[in-house]
């Protein structure tokens, strides 16, 4: 059955939004966007260059004084209006989400609801951000702390979940009083374009949110720009190192949310069916291209074979195919190059002793022109080999047995990453013990990512980044503390 193709007339057109200008052309040429379901071009995407970035920064700086001083209740009401629009228009995000990176239709409408939740949560903080007073003893005085926005925040989001990532940053940064220059990824530009379109419809003042679509050159221009006060980068560790190097030119702070190789730890007392259903989401969520996905399965040896058999049976029921089909569970990976890289890692994993128990072959037939791989599971994988240590960023899970709690902890922590971990057990003592000893920013017990909601902090340990998004901790990332001391000493007597 042939694939549906994206209806290009439903895709947003304004790749650049600078101040009150909505632009369909930039100064950085064009790049062909490829729909990963068929390998065909959806549209030529206009690209920003350093001049466009400079104009966007100027627009943000001009808008900042009024936005910073807007009363909290007015900003709150604007956020709530935007949240209502996101909910009302949630279905309108689907064409952009599916076309840009192959997100499946069954989950696409949720992204509008998720965006609404983030802005509603952060909007509720707009009229509640306050400082504190500090008692003084060194001298009679009154000391107080205020929290102020940085100014202009440059935001760089990845292609695997640009709408999710952009709203995770924009909601707290704007609530704190910052203005934004947002770079959408050229591989997946459409949902962020739609996001900014709806924000303008909601009434956000010109210049508060500026959009540039571009590649590495535009990103480097943003990071090095002296008019940007803070950078928030979500992406790979390799790119993050370049971001930090460029940011050092102006000593600007950088928030990083990077990759992961999150462990799924299944004990012999776990609900194995539940643990298998939750475990399969590591291969299916975002078509396996999620930074926090649980992709390393560490399984207690007494239930190792039984768990893998249950997991394989569930994998066989996952429908892979046309992302526009509402029944599809798993869509394509982002590109031909990505699929070739993934297959190379799978083949090397087999050469290193791994055993394929599900998937492992690119889809053929009607799927041959797209970039499809079914859920692929490798058993008996050594924790030291490449596919166990590095991000695959595709629908691939690897399984390794363990004998006791301490070995599971050692295996889970033997990674340069520390973004998430998933523990399956019915033993409360064991759950707390594991959570206390695993080096990761988010621990899920008998779950698969339910803590990824706006009022919970999210971020990584080690090379998974630093800083937090979500919760009050996420708001604090975009504010600076200012301390003020005022003398209360009586005036000196006249001489």
Average pLDDT score over the chain? 95
- The catalytic position among 291, 385, 391, 477 is 291
Query: pTM for the whole thing?
Result: 0.95
197 has catalytic annotation: no
* Domain boundaries defined on the chain: 8-258+464-481, 262-445
* 175-203 tens-digit pLDDT: 999 999 999 999 999 999 999 999 999 99
pLDDT recorded at residue 2: 41
- CATH class (in words) of the domain with range 8-258+464-481: alpha beta
257 has catalytic annotation: yes
Residue with the bigger pLDDT between 14 and 170: it is 170
For residue 118, pLDDT beyond 50: yes
Strands 230-234 and 355-358: unpaired
- The catalytic position among 100, 197, 257, 391 is 257
pLDDT classification of 264: cutoffs 50, 70, 90: very high
Superfamily of segment(s) 262-445: Aldehyde Dehydrogenase; Chain A, domain 2 (3.40.309.10)
Strands 132-134 and 40-46: unpaired
* 37-79 tens-digit pLDDT: 999 999 999 999 999 999 999 999 999 999 999 999 999 999 9
CB 100 within 8 A of CB 328: no
């Amino acid at each position: 059955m042939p694939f549906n193709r994206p209806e290009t007339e439903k895709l947003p057109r304004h790749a650049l939004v600078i101040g009150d200008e909505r632009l369909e052309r930039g100064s950085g040429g064009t790049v062909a966007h490829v729909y990963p379901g068929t390998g065909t071009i959806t549209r030529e995407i206009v690209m920003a260059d350093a001049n466009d970035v400079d104009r966007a920064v100027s627009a943000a700086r001009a808008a900042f004084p009024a936005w910073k001083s807007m009363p909290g209740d007015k900003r709150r009401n604007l956020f709530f209006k935007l949240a209502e629009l996101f909910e009302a228009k949630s279905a309108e995000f689907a064409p952009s989400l599916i076309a840009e990176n192959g997100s499946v239709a069954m989950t696409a409408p949720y992204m509008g609801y998720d965006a609404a939740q983030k802005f509603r949560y952060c909007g509720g903080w707009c009229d509640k951000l306050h400082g504190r007073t500090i008692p003084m003893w060194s001298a009679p005085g009154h000391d107080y702390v205020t929290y102020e926005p940085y100014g202009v925040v440059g935001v760089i989001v990845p292609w695997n979940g640009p709408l999710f990532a952009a709203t995770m940053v924009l909601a707290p940064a704007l609530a704190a009083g910052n203005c934004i220059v947002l770079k959408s990824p050229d591989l997946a530009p459409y949902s962020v374009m739609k996001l900014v379109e709806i924000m303008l419809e909601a009434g956000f003042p010109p210049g508060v949110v500026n959009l540039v679509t571009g590649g590495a050159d535009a990103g480097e221009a943003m990071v090095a720009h002296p008019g940007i006060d803070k950078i928030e980068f979500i992406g790979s560790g390799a790119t993050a190192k370049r971001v930090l190097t460029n940011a050092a030119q102006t000593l600007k702070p950088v928030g990083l949310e990077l990759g992961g190789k999150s462990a799924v730890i299944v004990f012999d007392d776990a609900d194995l069916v539940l643990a298998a259903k939750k475990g399969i989401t590591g291969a299916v969520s975002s078509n396996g291209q999620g930074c926090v996905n649980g992709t390393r399965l560490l399984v207690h040896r007494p239930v190792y074979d039984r768990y893998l058999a249950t997991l394989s049976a569930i994998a066989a029921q996952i429908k892979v195919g046309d992302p526009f089909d509402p029944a599809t569970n798993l869509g394509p990976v982002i590109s031909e190059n990505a699929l070739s890289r993934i297959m190379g890692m799978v083949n090397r994993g087999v050469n290193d002793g791994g055993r394929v128990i599900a998937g492992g072959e690119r889809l053929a037939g009607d799927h041959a022109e797209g970039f499809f791989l079914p859920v692929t599971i490798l058993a008996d994988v050594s924790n030291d080999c490449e596919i166990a240590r590095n991000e695959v960023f595709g629908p691939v899970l690897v399984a390794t047995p363990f004998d006791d709690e301490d070995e599971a902890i050692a295996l889970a922590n033997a990674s340069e990453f520390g973004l998430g971990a998933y523990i399956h057990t019915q033993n409360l003592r064991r759950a707390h013990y594991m959570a206390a000893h695993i080096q990761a920013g988010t621990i899920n017990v008998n779950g698969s990512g339910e803590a990824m909601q706006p009022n919970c902090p999210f971020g990584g340990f080690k090379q998974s980044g630093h800083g937090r998004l979500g919760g009050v901790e996420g708001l604090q990332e975009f504010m600076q503390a200012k301390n003020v001391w005022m003398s209360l000493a009586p005036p000196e007597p006249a001489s």
